[in-house]
Amino acid sequence: MPEPTDIRSGLVCVGLNYKTTPVEVRERLAFPEAQVPAAVQQVRGLPGFEESVVLSTCNRVELYATHALPSGKDGHAALREYLIDRFELQPEHAEALVLYNLDSAEAARHLFRVVSGLDSMVLGETEIFGQVKAAYKVALDTGTTSRALNKLFQQAFTVGKKVRNETTIQRGSTSVGSVAVDLAEKVHDLKECRVMLVGAGEMSRTCAQSLLSRGAKSIIVSNRSYDKAVELATEMKGRAMKFDEWEHSLHEVDVIISSTSAPHFVIRPEQIDQVMRKRRWEPLLIIDIAVPRDVDPAVNNIEGVYLYDIDALQAIADEGRRERERQLASCERIIEDQLEKYGFLKPGGNGGGLKLA
């Protein structure tokens, strides 16, 4: 049983994230992926340091380490100096650098929250779990972790899974793009899903990219400016189509994302009624992002057609965010229980909050 005592006294975490530091500073302090193995060795090589893990993502840079220095403050100061030296910050930038300095239970709590997605910009997102795993693996492969950090990170992964399994923190969509993907997945098998963009606005591009990243089969882009359609189609490895031709291909696609700047409806019930007959009633999802709307709302009354306009998408995303926020207290409770279980907190105790320095 000596390990928990060691890690309680010698664990530190120093870092910055999207809440404490603007992107123009974060990008200066980010460790390129190839340089992380060298970085973990440099941190462990600092006087008095024993183990290290470096987590560097677009939203955060965090150094986790164990040390045998007289106090946690010494550990924080050494890591701060390391970051300033490593990134050759000018004195004025170094002075303005805002870092959070955590030790023992606070550091463990922070790691547990990060792994669980509670500290992420999109609450409950799951990508961070893989990023922490990758950071830990780099440190493990480089040989800069030992019993204390190995145990801490394994505990963190267990907590992360527990939070996801016992709550719905990751459920639901929180952005218009992810709502579009969720809807498409509930109408079709995404791998067989053919998408058509009518109009090439920024939001429709985001939705289409989300669908493609999740495995949508193909994409057709049609826009009043054919050059722009070609440009976007090339970017998405799709096919461009002249704007006066898109109506003839409607029956070939499973998802239509419409975002033209037309002042009137460009997709009407009589068109879609014909399309559905040609499609032999295979379901059709229409996402209307345009304002004013491109699609006559009566289209939703046609069997097999599911129409969502921007307000409907936004309402679903808002509800997704609210649902995740409602889950936050349960997640925090699980983390506190686990901190107690792993000996970071006494029953009913509190390890304190985030300290900025």
Partner 1 sequence: MPASQQLLLAATLIFVGALVQALLALKAGAWKQARAQFVLMALGFALQTGFIYLRGEEVRQCPIRSLPDILVFIAWSIVLLYFLVGPAFRLSLLGVFTSPLVTLMQGMAFLSGFASYPPKGPINALVELHIALALISYAAFALACITGVMYLVQERMLKRHQIGGLFYQLPPIQGLAHAIQRMVRLGLLLLSIALGISFALHLPMTKTGHVVFAWIVWGLYAVISLLMWKHFTSPRRTAWLAVIGFILPFISLWIVTHA
Q: Which of 19, 28, 186, 355 binds partner 1 (CB under 8 A)?
A: 186
Can you tell me which residue has the tokens 């070609």? 230
Q: Is residue 48 a contact residue for partner 1 (CB under 8 A)?
A: no
Residues near 85 by Cβ (< 8 Å), separated by ≥ 6? none
Q: Which of 74, 319, 332, 337 binds partner 1 (CB under 8 A)?
A: 319
* Closer residue to partner 1 (CB): 187 or 262: 187
Longest CA–CA separation in the chain, Å: 78
We find the least distance from the C-beta atom of residue 331 to partner 1, in angstroms, to be 12
**Contact (Cβ atoms closer than 8 angstroms) between residue 256 and residue 231:** no
Q: Is residue 303 a contact residue for partner 1 (CB under 8 A)?
A: yes
Helices within the chain (DSSP H only): 2-10, 23-26, 36-44, 72-86, 91-96, 104-115, 127-142, 147-166, 176-187, 202-213, 226-235, 269-278, 310-341
We find the least distance from the C-beta atom of residue 209 to partner 1, in angstroms, to be 21
Using DSSP, state whether 288 is helix, strand or coil: strand
* Closer residue to partner 1 (CB): 17 or 178: 178
Q: Is residue 116 a contact residue for partner 1 (CB under 8 A)?
A: no
* Closer residue to partner 1 (CB): 105 or 284: 284
Q: How far is CA 62 from CA 46, 100, 148, 195, 280, in A?
A: 16, 9, 17, 40, 55
Query: Any catalytic annotation for residue 58?
Result: yes
Q: Is residue 306 a contact residue for partner 1 (CB under 8 A)?
A: yes
Q: Which of 77, 94, 262, 312 binds partner 1 (CB under 8 A)?
A: 312
Binding track over 266-295 against partner 1, x by CB under 8 A: ----------x---xxxx------------
Q: Is residue 44 a contact residue for partner 1 (CB under 8 A)?
A: no
* Closer residue to partner 1 (CB): 191 or 237: 191
Q: Is residue 160 a contact residue for partner 1 (CB under 8 A)?
A: no
Of the candidate spans 68-76, 118-126, 168-176, 240-248, the one that interacts with partner 1 by CB under 8 A turns out to be 168-176
Residues composing the chain: 357
**Contact (Cβ atoms closer than 8 angstroms) between residue 195 and residue 218:** yes
Q: Which of 30, 134, 140, 187 binds partner 1 (CB under 8 A)?
A: 187
Can you tell me which residue has the tokens 């200066």? 28
CA nearest to 296, candidates 281, 311, 307: 307
Q: Is residue 166 a contact residue for partner 1 (CB under 8 A)?
A: yes
Catalytic residue of the set 13, 58, 193, 331: 58
Q: Is residue 158 a contact residue for partner 1 (CB under 8 A)?
A: no
Pairwise CA distance, residues 233 & 346, whole Å:
58
**Contact (Cβ atoms closer than 8 angstroms) between residue 46 and residue 82:** yes
- DSSP calls for 250-294: GGG-SEEEE----SS-SB-HHHHHHHHHHTTT--EEEEE--SS-S
Size of the site for partner 1 (CB under 8 A): 29
* Closer residue to partner 1 (CB): 33 or 325: 325
We find the least distance from the C-beta atom of residue 335 to partner 1, in angstroms, to be 17
For residue 198, which amino acid is it?
A: V
CA nearest to 7, candidates 79, 75, 61: 75
Binding site for partner 1 (CB under 8 A): 165-168, 171-172, 179, 182-183, 185-189, 276, 280-283, 300, 303-304, 306, 308, 312, 315-316, 319, 327
Q: What amino acid positions are annotated as catalytic residues?
A: 58
